[in-house]
Amino acid sequence: MIPIKTPEEVLLLRESCSLAVKALAYAKTLLTPGTSTEAINNKLHTFILDHHATPSPLNYHGYPKSICTSRNHVICHGIPNESDILTNGDIINIDVTVYKNGFHGDTSATFLIGEVSPRVRELVQVALDSLSLGLKEIRPGAHLGNIGASIEKKAHEHGFSVVHEYCGHGIGRNFHEDPQVLHFGKRNTGTVLKAGMTFTVEPMINLGQRHCKLLPDDWTVITSDGLPSAQFEHTIVVTPKGYEILTEWPSDLLNL
């Protein structure tokens, strides 16, 4: 069952989403070589509480931290750690979800740390472009599968691959709810979209093979081949004319 949100509910969701964006913009200011992901987590934790919200990941199915920090070959759900240190040439995805007024807002972006190699920069750019192309498919009456088809096409055109095991998700009163939003697949398959649906699109694009491994901590997902992976995430609402990004970033957020 896919919940359809009322305009009042979308208003509350928009507020949670805009706080998630503010937190992500704050995170960006902390990304200097030598900083640990633990330090970023701790500052974001305080920032979120100071804004009368709570970090959705903390204690979610036992997740131990307040944000996810996924560096280089970590695909998603990287756990902040004091020995995980930002280094020149890295890429890092910061994934922020906040809970406020009964609604979760979820957004993430991949940032460059110093001088990043051209092929890895291309990976990050294509991850971003694939998200934009996927979003453009969203309108009432369109099939959910069009989003993934568009994302996959873009990734493959550049010789990259799409992670299959993790997907976007409905969001609202629950952190993760129906529908599941695959980042690959066939056009004109899957659920038909309706105005008032709210979900994330969050493609994970790998430089090498699509396959992943779960680390023994039961959270950290890495590429099987050890090559980098990049991801961007927006929360959207399906509108009568198409869609609205509820986690719109400031124009200077990214450093591509």
Applying CB under 5 A, which residues contact Co ion? 95, 106, 108, 200, 233
Q: Are 204 and 166 in contact (CB under 8 A)?
A: yes
Of the residues 63, 121, 139, 164, which one makes contact with ligand MF3 according to CB under 6 A: 63
- Smallest gap, in angstroms, from Cβ of residue 78 to ligand MF3? 9
Q: Is there binding between residue 41 and ligand MF3 (CB under 6 A)?
A: no
Q: What angle do CA 174, 176, 178 make, to 5 degrees?
A: 100
Asked if 64 interacts with ligand MF3 (CB under 6 A), we say: no
Token pair 């991949």 in the structure block, residue: 110
Residue nearest to ligand MF3 (CB): 57
Binding window for ligand MF3 (CB under 6 A); candidates: 44-52, 57-65, 116-124, 128-136? 57-65
In angstroms, the CA 232 to CA 130 distance is 9
- Report if residue 77 touches ligand MF3, rule: CB under 6 A: yes
List the structure tokens of 166: 């993790």
What is the DSSP code string of 162-215?
Answer: E-SS--EEE-SSSSSEEEEE-SS--TT-SPBP-TT-EEEE--EEESS-S-EEE-
Q: Is the CB of 108 or the CB of 229 nearer to Co ion?
A: 108
Q: 107 to 166, contacts with ligand MF3 by CB under 6 A? A: none
Letter string b/e over residues 43-52, b meaning 16 or more CB atoms within 10 A of that residue's CB: bbbebbeeee
CB of 198 to Co ion, least distance (A): 12
* Nearest-approach distance from CB 106 to Co ion, in angstroms: 4
Q: Which residues pair with 213 in a beta bridge?
A: 222
* CA–CA separation, 68 and 77 (whole Å): 5
SS3 annotation, 70-115? EECCEEECCCCCCCCECCCCCEEEEEEEEEECCEEEEEEEEEECCC
Given 48, 68, 151, 197, the residue binding ligand MF3 (CB under 6 A): 68
Among 5, 40, 57, 144, binds ligand MF3 (CB under 6 A): 57
Q: Choosing among Co ion, ligand MF3, none, which partner's interface includes residue 90 (Cβ < 5 to 8 Å by kind)?
A: none
Is 95 among the residues that bind ligand MF3 (CB under 6 A)?
yes
Of 186-245, binders to ligand MF3 (CB under 6 A) are: 200, 202, 219, 233
Residues forming contacts to ligand MF3 in the complex (CB under 6 A) are 57, 60, 63, 68, 77, 95, 97, 106, 169, 200, 202, 219, 233
